[in-house]
């Protein structure tokens, strides 16, 4: 029973991680709820393997990202991220800064699953080393990918903002 209480406490403390992954990978509210539950289930099934070598949040990100990617493979869904939700809102937003933010959010939403995960971890202020551990790539590869993604996102956000 102690392990279950410990797990529940950690999930409650770090549930924002799961919500962020769900929001980035799923448009439909029902699908987001299903994905949230699936992530929690997979984390529980793997909890006995958590050794504390990495922070719990890093471990949970890895579980959440892998589950999100697998979730779509199983369901054979194409991820369009948040684009369809954000686009109508862009027309009604008066604040230019808010429009720029949403344009960037849309650009992130249009990335492939791995790049989206990389950007999400970067935005959470994870170091390149922590990102590399979570995604299973070298820190140098993280740096190269992030430099390319920053340029790509800037171009995409500017394009989306002008539309």
Indicate if the pLDDT at residue 161 is higher than 80. Answer: no
Are 1-79 and 82-163 equal in CATH topology? no
For 82-133, write each residue's pLDDT tens digit. Answer: 334 444 443 444 455 556 666 777 788 888 888 888 888 887 778 889 888 8
Rounded to an integer, what distance in angstroms lies between the CA atom of residue 116 and that of residue 111?
5
Backbone angles phi, psi at 53, to 5 degrees: -65, -35
Fold of 82-163: Arc Repressor Mutant, subunit A (1.10.10)
Q: How many CB atoms lie within 10 A of CB 85?
A: 16
Residue 10 structure tokens: 């950690």
pLDDT for 113 equals: 83
Instruction: Please compute the mean of the pLDDT values over residues 52-56 and round it to a whole number.
Output: 80
pLDDT for 133 equals: 87
Name 149's Cβ contacts closer than 8 Å, sequence gap at least 6.
111, 115, 118, 119
Residue with tokens 């493979």: 73
Instruction: Please compute the mean of the pLDDT values over residues 134-148 and round it to a whole number.
Output: 90
Asked if residue 109 lies in contact with residue 86, where contact means CB atoms within 8 angstroms, the answer is yes
Q: Measured at the alpha carbon of residue 24, what is the angle toward residues 108 and 42, in degrees to the nearest 5?
A: 140
Q: Where are the domains of the chain?
A: 1-79, 82-163
The domain 1-79 having CATH identifier 1.10.10.1200: the answer here is no
pLDDT for 28 equals: 79
């Amino acid at each position: 029973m102690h392990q279950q209480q410990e797990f529940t406490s950690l999930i409650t403390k770090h549930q924002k991680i799961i919500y962020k992954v769900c929001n980035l990978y799923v448009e439909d509210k029902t699908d987001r709820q299903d994905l949230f539950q699936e992530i929690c289930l997979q984390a529980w099934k793997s909890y006995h393997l958590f050794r504390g070598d990495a922070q719990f949040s890093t471990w949970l990100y890895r579980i959440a990202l892998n589950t999100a990617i697998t979730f779509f493979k199983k369901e054979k869904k194409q991820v369009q991220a948040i684009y369809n939700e954000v686009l109508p809102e862009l027309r009604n937003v008066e604040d230019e800064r808010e429009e720029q933010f949403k344009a960037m959010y849309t650009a992130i939403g249009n990335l492939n699953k791995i790049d989206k995960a990389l950007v999400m971890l970067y935005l959470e202020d994870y170091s390149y080393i922590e990102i590399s551990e979570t995604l299973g790539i070298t820190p140098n590869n993280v740096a190269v990918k992030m430099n390319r993604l920053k340029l790509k996102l800037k171009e995409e956000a500017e394009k989306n903002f002008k539309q």
